[in-house]
Chain A
Amino acid sequence: NAGVTQTPKFQVLKTGQSMTLQCAQDMNHNSMYWYRQDPGMGLRLIYYSASEGTTDKGEVPNGYNVSRLNKREFSLRLESAAPSQTSVYFCASSEAGRDGGYTFGSGTRLTVV
């Protein structure tokens, strides 16, 4: 099925550990995004990539890095995890200018202890 695939679905990290969240889309979309969702809140933009080869900071980029590996893949890296990064992370993609909106992955639930 066409869509956005995120791995892993669940992860528990110890404070200070690092990890990379993977995201891939097969819809040939130019733009990709990483959001985090905390209880009772909407989604906050961490980083985005308007097109292959470009990345930009969103609202809450501190503690994260991203890589737009190719048109399909956009990864999010936590270099030194902190308890404040416990959250659900969503990757999304879109084709700018179209009426289809964003397509979201099913999320990665990350707990930092």
Chain B
Amino acid sequence: SQQGEEDPQALSIQEGENATMNCSYKTSINNLQWYRQNSGRGLVHLILIRSNEREKHSGRLRVTLDTSKKSSSLLITASRAADTASYFCATGPGGSSYKLIFGSGTRLLVRP
């Protein structure tokens, strides 16, 4: 079963607009991560936010975490055509194994 569920499943925006993707999860976590997957490729780690953090930035990415609502959001500002990809959230229960559970992803299309 999936721990994280992304919303929306698909998103289409114009280049230059902001893109917001949401993730909800079910159980307590140690951290939450976001990954990007270009078509036919492996996943690439974007950003990690720990359970005691509320917001984190990396370049044009902004991630928020609300542990009381068991939800996170990923904001991509000033989107580019190259941002077209699928985005996945993954939750880490912690511990030595560092096992991640992935959601089903949001497919983002940025139109030139």
Q: Which residues of A contact B (CB under 8 A)?
A: 4, 31, 33, 35, 40-45, 48, 50-51, 56, 58-59, 90, 92, 94, 96-97, 99-107
CA distance in complex: A99, B105 (Å): 21
Nearest Cβ in chain A — how far from B46, in angstroms? 8
Q: Does B100 contact A (CB under 8 A)?
A: yes
A42 & B96 in contact (Cβ 8 Å cutoff): no
- The size class of the interface chain B forms with chain A is 20 to 34
Nearest Cβ in chain B — how far from A3, in angstroms? 9
The residue on A at minimum CB distance from B86 is A42
Query: A45 and B33 in contact (CB under 8 A), knowing A103-B45, A107-B42?
Result: no
Nearest Cβ in chain B — how far from A95, in angstroms? 8
Contacts of B2 in A (CB 8 A): 41-42
Q: A48-B99, A99-B48, A102-B100 are in contact. List 11 more A-B contacts (CB 8 A).
A: A31-B98, A33-B100, A40-B104, A42-B2, A42-B4, A51-B96, A56-B97, A59-B1, A90-B43, A97-B98, A105-B42
CA distance in complex: A107, B99 (Å): 19
Contacts of A103 in B (CB 8 A): 45
User: Which one of A48, A102, A103 has the greatest number of beta carbons of chain B within 10 Å?
Assistant: A102
Nearest Cβ in chain B — how far from A32, in angstroms? 11
A31 & B97 in contact (Cβ 8 Å cutoff): yes
Contacts of B97 in A (CB 8 A): 31, 48, 50, 56, 96
A42 & B102 in contact (Cβ 8 Å cutoff): yes
A41 & B45 in contact (Cβ 8 Å cutoff): no
Q: Which residues of B contact A (CB under 8 A)?
A: 1-2, 4, 33, 35, 40-45, 48, 88, 90, 95-105
B105 & A42 in contact (Cβ 8 Å cutoff): yes
A102 & B45 in contact (Cβ 8 Å cutoff): yes
A101 & B42 in contact (Cβ 8 Å cutoff): no
B42 & A106 in contact (Cβ 8 Å cutoff): yes
8 CB contacts below 8 A, A to B, read A31-B98, A45-B101, A50-B97, A50-B98, A56-B97, A102-B33, A103-B45, A107-B41
